[in-house]
Amino acid sequence: MSVIFWYTTITDDYFICIMKSFSCLISPAERCLLLVQVQLQNMLTSKFIAYFLDEVSTWQKRLSTADMVISIWMEVQRTWSHLESIFIGSEDIRKQLPEDSDRFDKIDVDFKVFTVYNSCSYF
């Protein structure tokens, strides 16, 4: 299974990458998170958990937070990608919805700056 990225150039020095094939990249991470969460649940049923209870609880919270962040970020990317194709790809829609287009342009800049700062530096 291959991962498809879509690159958008912001300046000559920076670009962002948005995952076009979301499920193939995030599924392994979600499976790993789920596996570890199940393992932590199993640890909680052990009669020897008392010594490790605080640490296991802390890791459960961390993994739950990571899972929520990944899910929300993927939804943000999907929504932005959809809106970009509508507002950037169609002059007709931009003319029909000038206020929404202006609002999207401002959000688009913020999104790209945030994405450049926080992702794809390891590719």
The CATH number given to whatever domain includes residue 81 is 1.20.140.100
Q: How many domains, in total, are found in the chain?
A: 1
Q: Is residue 123 part of a domain?
A: no
**Mean pLDDT along residues 49-75:** 89
- How far apart (Å, rounded) are the C-alpha atoms in residues 19 and 4? 6
Q: Is residue 75 part of a domain?
A: yes
Using the structure block, give the residue that is written with the tokens 């690159």. Answer: 7
The domain of 31 spans 5-118
Q: Is residue 50 part of a domain?
A: yes
pLDDT at 32 over 60: yes
pLDDT at 117 over 70: no
Q: Is residue 22 part of a domain?
A: yes
**Percentage of the chain modeled with pLDDT above 90:** 20
Q: In this predicted structure, what is the pLDDT of residue 122?
A: 47
**Mean pLDDT along residues 42-54:** 90
